[in-house]
């Protein structure tokens, strides 16, 4: 069990550029979640997958955001035409179906939009 | 819409004291409640998970209680240590309807003075 990993850890981009983040969940975890956290706030849920199916999307996930998990393993989160308001920590979590159904979080990707 | 509130927002106490962190939620239709710890600039570490049918969970110096009907949870930390300094977040998982994303509070920023 190597834990949830995320890449890159930090990303600085200019407004209007597209960015893509990657999340590798704990192996054999079939559920994968994306959250966004801004300074001084708790994480906010964006979306989750069960295997390759995207089962829930928050209203926070605007049309500029898209997430995929094509083979039910790693996932990518893409933000198109970034805005300064997209600056945040993007957190990924995964869990299996066993009880307790704890979500395990990765270290996050810190995005700064200039 | 579920709302989670954590009180106090910040707390500073001398080493060795016992302390209580509070969490309240507005919708009692939850599947479980989790307490997490977050160190600056890092991801989240799960501390305790309480299923909706449970009243409390214990791990070492930590004890979490849940009163689902009143929408409250507390995290009790015994004999606090400087290494306990972090932000503590509580989060609820909804029950039913296919929703699975966690709703977080803003956290309690805890400082333990040596």
User: What average pLDDT does the segment B27-36 reach?
Assistant: 94
- B43, B54, B64, B104, best to mutate vs chain A, most A CBs in 10 Å: B43
Q: Answer yes or no: is pLDDT of B12 > 90.
A: yes
User: What average pLDDT does the segment B40-51 reach?
Assistant: 92
Question: Can you give the pLDDT at residue A99?
Answer: 75
A1 — pLDDT class (breaks 50, 70, 90) = low
Return the residue of B nearest to A91 by Cα: B43
Q: Which residues of A touch B98 (CB under 8 A)?
A: 55-56
Q: How close A36 comes to chain B (CA, Å)? A: 11
Question: Can you give the pLDDT at residue B45?
Answer: 94
Give dist(CA B48, CA B58) in Å, integer: 7
CB–CB contact A91 B44 (8 Å): yes
Q: How close A100 comes to chain B (CA, Å)? A: 7
Among B60, B93, B101, B55, smallest CA distance to B74 is for: B55
Q: For residue B35, say if its preceding peptide bond is cis, omega within 30 degrees of 0.
A: no
SS3 sequence, A28-82?
CCCEEEEEEECCCCCCEEEEEEECCEEEEECCCCCCCEEEECCCCCCEEEEECCC
Q: What spatial distance separates the first Cα and last Cα of chain A, rounded to whole Å?
A: 36
CB–CB contact A42 B107 (8 Å): yes
Give dist(CA B74, CA B97) in Å, integer: 27
Q: Answer yes or no: is pLDDT of B98 > 80.
A: no
Q: Answer yes or no: is pLDDT of B42 > 90.
A: no
Q: Which residues of A touch B32 (CB under 8 A)?
A: 100-101
Q: How close A16 comes to chain B (CA, Å)? A: 25
A103 — pLDDT class (breaks 50, 70, 90) = very high
Q: What is the mean pLDDT of chain B?
A: 94
B57 — pLDDT class (breaks 50, 70, 90) = very high
The percentage of chain B sitting over the pLDDT mark of 90, rounded to a whole number, equals 89
Return the residue of B nearest to A4 by Cα: B43
A14-67 pLDDT, tens digit per residue, is 999 999 999 999 998 999 999 999 999 999 999 999 999 999 999 888 899 999
């Amino acid at each position: 069990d190597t834990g949830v990993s995320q890449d890159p850890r930090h990303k600085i981009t200019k407004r209007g550029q597209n960015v893509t983040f990657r999340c590798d969940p704990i192996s054999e975890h079939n559920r994968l979640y994306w959250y966004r956290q801004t300074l001084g706030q708790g994480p906010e849920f964006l979306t989750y997958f069960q295997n390759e199916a995207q089962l829930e999307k928050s209203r926070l996930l605007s049309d500029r955001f898209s997430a995929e998990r094509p083979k039910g393993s790693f996932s990518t989160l893409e933000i198109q035409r970034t805005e300064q308001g997209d600056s945040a920590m993007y957190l990924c979590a995964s869990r299996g179906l066993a009880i307790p159904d704890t979500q395990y979080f990765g270290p996050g990707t810190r995005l700064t939009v200039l | 819409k579920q709302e989670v509130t954590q009180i106090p927002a910040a707390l500073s106490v001398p080493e060795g004291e016992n302390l209580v962190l509070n969490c309240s939620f507005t919708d009692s239709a939850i599947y479980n409640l989790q307490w997490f710890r977050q160190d600056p600039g890092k991801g989240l570490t799960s501390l305790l998970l309480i299923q909706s049918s449970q009243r409390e969970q214990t791990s070492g110096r930590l004890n979490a209680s849940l009163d689902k009907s009143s929408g409250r949870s507390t995290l009790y930390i015994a004999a606090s240590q400087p290494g306990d300094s972090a932000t503590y977040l509580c989060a609820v998982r909804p029950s039913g309807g296919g929703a699975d994303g966690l709703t977080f509070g803003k956290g309690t920023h805890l400082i333990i003075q040596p």
